[in-house]
Structure 1
Amino acid sequence: MINVRWEQHPVGHGGFHTGVMFTFDSPSIQWIFDCGAKRTAKFDAYLRDWLDNNTRPVDWLFISHFDTDHVSGLDTLMAGAVVDNVMVPYLNEHEIVLQLLEEAGRGALDRKLVELAVDPAVYFLSRGARRVTFVRGSGPGREDIGGPETPPDKGRGWKTRCNPAPRDLKAPRWSPAGVADESAVQVIESDSDLTVSRGGAGIRFKPYRAPITDASNDGLIDAVEALVGASVKTQGRPGLGDLAYAVANHARTPAGRADLRHLFKTHLGSSNRASLSVLSVPIVDEPMTAHWHVEHASDFDAGGAEPGWLNTGDAELFASADLADWEDCYAIFLDSVRVLALPHHGSDHNSNGALQQLCANATLTAQVKAVGKKHPGANVAMSAGDRLVRVTEQAATSVRMYFYAG
């Protein structure tokens, strides 16, 4: 027997998705996709209430990217819950600078974002995570990150496997207790299969991020170094070291932020390109019965077989080449996707009807403010029609999906 429950929580413009899987003879498995919102004080209050009522460990925390409205609750979450594994996109130096410049331009460059950019592995490990897994964008010109393959691990009665196997990254100089004999920092390819299972039951996670391409940003690092007076000093894993600190220091003043905004416009890029998508779908070995249903304020849908929930963060899936690459990753699952979280709150700049057609059987969600006018975009909303559900800060707008097999 297996029960799975997914929920897109009503937190307004941001992202907080949770999932939990139960079986009759083993501990539950719980996961979270993104943890933040623009209205940070209100989100923290919501998150603390959720933590008070959900004391089970978080086996996997997936962070799509480091925009403030997707990560503002991380400190609260990790102070109030046991978070075992964290998965984040692997960002090269160009992409991290783009991230910092974009947040500086919004006036949203805070200490948390700088810590994440400086060294994401240390950020999470120092807050109690056992392992940090980076997802790199597979494709031409990718960095040679090397390292030995690592075997599957076991935890709390569940067997975790990743195919292809992960590779080690350079670990921090210190290690939390209990990780001396295993890798604390790993990297996997986009389009990998991560499964957590016991016997014939479990959950499959499939991450995707766009290929890393540096061509359009070749001059950005030199320009930023010249502006802030620091150079890139990498540590063998994602993070900018001295340069990230120098960018943050330069962004403290209005004039400094104006300088950085000018560079961002000059070199034109988007941090959203690195955003993770993650599919979650149950694994069932010849069930006697299987049933799913999706419920939200305006509708109810139900059926059999194993359903998928596909989160997209702020992924850029508008250009046909980008969408085709994303489709290649998820092709065999798209017909079974029953909930698709539209990228970037349903922005017209990130997707259109072509994405919606790929998930023809799915309810479409957009995480937006109740009174927001910008998101979802007019074209996205028109294409989605009555399949679109706006998830806002109003409690009744949450979307849930349930699955049972036995």
Structure 2
Amino acid sequence: MTTKTSVGPLAGIKVLELGTLIAGPFCSRMLAEFGADVIKIESPDGGDPIRQWRVLKDGTSLWWSVQSRNKKSVTLNMKDPRGQDIARQLALEADIIIENYRPGVLEKWNLGYEDLKQHNPATIMVRLSGYGQTGPMKDLPGFGAIGESMGGMRYVSGHPDRPPVRIGISIGDSVAALHGVIGAMMALRHRDTTGGRWNGKTGTDCIAGQGQMVDVALYEAVFNMMESLVPEYDHAGVVRERTGGALPGIVPSNTYTTGDGENIVIAGNGDAIFKRLMLAIGRQDMADDPQLARNDGRVPRTAEIDGAIQQWCATQTIDQALAVLKAADVPVGKIYSVRDMMSDPQFLARRMFEQHAFADGTPIKLPAITPKLSVTPGETKWLGPQLGEHNTEVLRALGYDDEQIAQLARDRVI
């Protein structure tokens, strides 16, 4: 496995990850991709469960190679006071701590935010949980699926005549993770403008910046994405419902089926775009209809407009439809599978795939890092680490000698 050493925008920032599965690890993954030094704490007994999720290679998830790239894996038995002490040392040295346990777990391990900030006032702790650190539901287990449901996303997903459906990825966890990254960056900015990093370990005089806790609830992160849901209900009594592939109140924007059985998304909802769309599909009458010139006039005639577009699509192959509508400057797109992505000229031109290799030399492609920064882009330095791969390196940096490390291993502390 090749390790790269270029510097990212977060170089020098130390991150401690205390979490498993998706929300916490995805949050720290993005920081690691842009240069932060991320130490991931795992249980010696198998590590993060995501190591065994979905498609495996030699017993380890292919997902792991992405979700934990650029991280250092340290195993600690957090039920052992010695494991808790090592985690505490790492936490006090970290700029950012990311955790996604149930509220109260870190406090049992003497790693709670209030305790740590007494010793390091610059502590930034990102806490991701199902329902947040307060409220009557805070102690309940809250997975991404529950956050998606409570936050409103599941209610509006699917067709009106069928039960709600899930989006095909763990979107609730991922949205929460992105909120965690944003919160961490804002907290880091505030810390640096109020003094900077804590230097208490060196004993030097300094003014430590003000740290803070970033409290991310999965259901609230999802809720934050729900657009006009609240004011529409509060002011007009409108409850947004499931609408299948359509975008209600913004016409036309829907999924249509071409003559060769493919699905195509057409977004002709801008006023000028609508006219170009109608001309492209041979509906001069609708292009010239004054009632349809504005969105508020088109909404009452949604079924008629969608019917006209579907009728035209049924006469075209998907390639023909794409060519006609792109030539007319109408936003249109095929619904991509990963097979489509891997050969698409736009994905390839933007270098959205990275070629790497496992330790045994087997090649593997990963998604490239986004967003793309022009001066300090992110980089994959190494794939997800072996369980406990960095135990010795990290413990030596804390002052443990080889015999002490060996004893911790014999005692199953690491």
Q: Same fold (TM over 0.5)?
A: no
Larger proportion of helix: 2
If the TM-score is normalised by the length of the shorter chain, which range does it land in?
A: under 0.3
TM norm structure 2: 0.25
TM norm structure 1: 0.25
Larger proportion of strand: 1
